[in-house]
Structure formats: structure tokens, C-alpha cells
Chains A and B, each alone.
Chain A
């Protein structure tokens, strides 16, 4: 049973560029949440997707957008990259966002913006 997978594992971009990160949820999970973890900080909630819709959003600008596909996989897009966007981006999946279910995390994508 595959857990949560993310790609790529590492990425280097320059300021102003755009990036797309991908996440495949754990088998059977239908909800995907994205988090940004800056060095030395706890993960910060970006947004959550359920049934291909963004259900809730954290305090992140519109440069951060996402998508969920019919197979429940998800993408995180960041436009006009800033140096401060350098972080570990974690994807977490769970079953039915309405319930108090455990979220399983992927290994993350390390984004470096130069």
C-alpha cells in the first residue's frame, strides 16, 4: 500500500519563476492538504482540497494556487516566486475531511528560490 508520494523531491528556481509541485494521496484517501515548512518552523497550512474543490485556505497570497484531479492527486502552483518561498512543501492526505481522521504526510518537496 503506497503512502503519500510527492514529486519532485528537490527543486531549484529563481525569483519570478513559476513552480508546480505534485502529490499523490495514500490509497483510499480523498482529501489533500498542503503545508509550507520554513527552516526551523512548524508547517503552515496553505490550503485543502476535497472533491476537486479548495475547501479552506490559510494566510497565503493568491500566488499560491492548487488543483485536485478526479483520482484525488493534487498540484500546488506558486507563481512569481520570492526568496521567502524557499521551504519544504508537505502534502498530507486523509479520508473525509469532515471527520477527525489522521493525516498522513508525504516526504515533501524541498524548494530553493535563488
Chain B
């Protein structure tokens, strides 16, 4: 059964801290690994990773994929209160566009 597992499920940090969110996946005919940020309702796209070992970076956020170990991490440096959200890790299989979501990591950043 295809699945995506995220850890931790919940994380509380102070502004300025660095956090690492973990994601392991088992997705048939894996195509890509995506990260989304969900603040209130609509998840917003952060990264799509298709190749191992190539870091994707956007400002203070970065992510990398390990296709051998079926693992990805999302790093956020110098966290801000605006980073408080649920971060969803998503596996995409085959060519049908179906997404397999993890439960998400609830990140809370205190001022």
C-alpha cells in the first residue's frame, strides 16, 4: 500500500531556530516528492523533487530527496512566526497525477 509518513507530527520552536521536517515514502512507480504548506485551507506549493541529492532552495527553506532511502527532508532556517503552518509531504506515483499525502507536521513558531 502506498504511504507517506512524516515526523514529527508536531513541533514547537522559537523564532530564529532551525527546524528539520522528515518524510519517508513508499509510492508505487514513484515520480516525484512534493512539499506543501497549509496555513488555513488551501495547501500552497513549496517544492517538487525528482532527483536524488539535488537540493532545492527557496529563501530560508530548502529540501532534498534521497531516492535510495526513500526519504526527504525540509529545512527551515531562522524561523519566523509566519512559518507557523502544517507542512505536508506528498508522493506522486506513475503518470496519473495522483498525490499521496502524509499527515503533515504542525509547526508552531513562538515569537
- Closest residue of chain A to B104 (Cβ to Cβ) is A42
- Is A48 touching B101 in the complex (CB atoms < 8 A)? no
Q: Which residues of the partner chain A approach B88 to less than 8 Å between Cβ atoms?
A: 42-43
Which among B39-47, B52-60, B64-72, B75-83 touches the partner chain?
B39-47
Residue of B40, B41, B97 contacting most chain A CB atoms (<10 Å): B97
**Which residues of A in the span 1-60 have a Cβ within 8 Å of any Cβ on B?**
4, 31, 33, 35, 40-45, 48, 55-56, 58
**Which residues of A in the span 44-89 have a Cβ within 8 Å of any Cβ on B?**
44-45, 48, 55-56, 58, 88
Q: Which residues of the partner chain B approach A56 to less than 8 Å between Cβ atoms?
A: 96, 98
- Is B42 touching A108 in the complex (CB atoms < 8 A)? yes
Q: Which residues of the partner chain A approach B34 to less than 8 Å between Cβ atoms?
A: 102
Asked whether any CB of chain A lies closer than 8 Å to the CB of B20, the reply is: no
Interface range on chain B: under 10, 10 to 19, 20 to 34, or 35 or more? 20 to 34
A99–B50 alpha-carbon span in the complex (Å): 13
- Is A94 touching B101 in the complex (CB atoms < 8 A)? no
User: Of A31, A40, A101, A103, which one neighbours B103 at CB under 8 angstroms?
Assistant: A40
- Is B41 touching A108 in the complex (CB atoms < 8 A)? yes
User: Of A42, A99, A103, A107, which one neighbours B41 at CB under 8 angstroms?
Assistant: A107
User: Of A44, A55, A97, which one neighbours B101 at CB under 8 angstroms?
Assistant: A44
- Is B97 touching A42 in the complex (CB atoms < 8 A)? no
User: Of B43, B44, B95, which one neighbours A98 at CB under 8 angstroms?
Assistant: B95
- Is B103 touching A100 in the complex (CB atoms < 8 A)? no
- Is B98 touching A48 in the complex (CB atoms < 8 A)? yes
Q: Which residues of the partner chain B approach A92 to less than 8 Å between Cβ atoms?
A: 99
User: Of B4, B95, B100, B101, which one neighbours A99 at CB under 8 angstroms?
Assistant: B95
- Closest residue of chain B to A57 (Cβ to Cβ) is B98
Interchain Cβ contacts under 8 Å between A and B, 5 examples: A41-B104, A44-B101, A103-B97, A103-B99, A105-B36
